[in-house]
Amino acid sequence: MAGEPHRIVVVGAGFGGLEAIHHLKGAPVEITLVDRRNHHIFQPLLYQVATASLSTSEIAWPIRHLMRGRPEVTTLLGEVTGIDALARQVLLKDGARLAYDTLILATGARHAYFGHDEWEPHAPGLKAIEDATTIRRRILLAFEKAERETDPEVQDALLTFVIVGAGPTGVELAGTIAELARDTLAPDFRRIDTHKARVVLVEAGPRVLAGYPDDLSDYTKQSLESLGVEVVLGAAVTECTADGVVYGGKLLPARTIVWAAGVRASPAAEWLGVPADRNGRIIVEPNLTVPGHPEIFAIGDTVSLAGPNGKPVPGIAPAAKQAGVYVARVIRARLADAPAPPPFHYKHQGSLAQIGKKRAVIDFGWIKLRGALAWWIWGIAHIYFLISVRSRLSVALSWLWIHTRNQRSARLITQGSDEDDSHAQKV
């Protein structure tokens, strides 16, 4: 019917989806935002929840709260299982269908175990709040169990923490776990010396932070080793079990393993039956539409698109946000019968990774930074991009407390499995 608002469905309340909605404010549209979780996560700091540095509420916000000032936006909690592109409908797990005129897929990514999904129970990845609290529980329970263990070999395995993959997440996890054991937990235990905990970072490639310049990569490796992290390079993991990891043909006994080695896109390409790269990401057109479907946009970790340097646009928050802004511009132009914007052009704003307290690396392209100055810039940048003033103040105070007192207040063992719960009750 003439005059009816244009119906937009956005799948995924990550950085890209929210940015697109933000820049569609005031347009003659009705937006339905659907996500299988009721909260938006600031993923760059998710590892700090996993390592007891921050609480979940400091880096996550209810989606409905974020959309409360947008009456044209309807928020739905639901899981998308498919797309009927011919009928222009999004299919939900409960059987419901959402009709759209324009669809924005911002469905993110999941863990990739390179054909070994059976490793996931033993080596969880880090993509959601549930992942972070699971990892935090396993790390803290390892120390609790080690405090009571009388068998030296079992105790050593409990105090061995393996991180698979030396990208930014792996590096940040390794450095923070090492500091947790060395600085935070040492005064709290009586039978074990937490300084003796082993943190092992295993990388199949020849260096850590492969996407960074060589000098920053070398600095990162040296900094991790100075924190007590064992960095193992050129060693692909061939097995993960409840007893440990196998690399180089040898088993390293370890009861806590974290997977940071790779990701795979959501099944959006399978829903549409369109070409995808080896990681399942949709190969989109230069205007971020799905080939053969100009009414469907895909952004963020869901897509594969070459950047200005010929390399794929990285799956990081700034790239998703830029894509969200661009898609909103294209939709506005279409609604106004105006000329389409030029093809999407990703502008890399820099790569940042924290190693530990007063240690970080930053690559802005035109300048490279390391050490304390990089750490301060890293912290300020992350605080700035948090959504609320309350979160900014809370995170800043938490980091100040960690920096001055070596205390991490989020050391709660929660949401345990039956086995973990029964053990925790005896501790």
Cα–Cα nearest to 359, from 221, 166, 170, 210: 221
**Eight-state DSSP code of residue 220:** H
| Cα–Cα distance measured from residue 117 to residue 151, given in angstroms and rounded to the nearest whole number | 31
Exposed/middle/buried for residue 160 (C-beta within 10 Å: 0-12, 13-18, 19+): buried
| Cα–Cα distance measured from residue 208 to residue 190, given in angstroms and rounded to the nearest whole number | 35
| Cα–Cα distance measured from residue 116 to residue 198, given in angstroms and rounded to the nearest whole number | 25
**Lateral strand order in the sheet of 244-247:** 237-241, 244-247, 250-253
Query: DSSP alpha helices (H): ranges in 180-251?
Result: 214-226
Catalytic machinery residues? 172
Question: Which residues in 9-26 are b (16+ Cβ under 10 Å) and which e?
Answer: bbbbbbbbbbbbbebbee
Q: Dihedral angle at the C-alpha atoms of 316, 317, 318, 322, nearest 10 degrees? A: 110
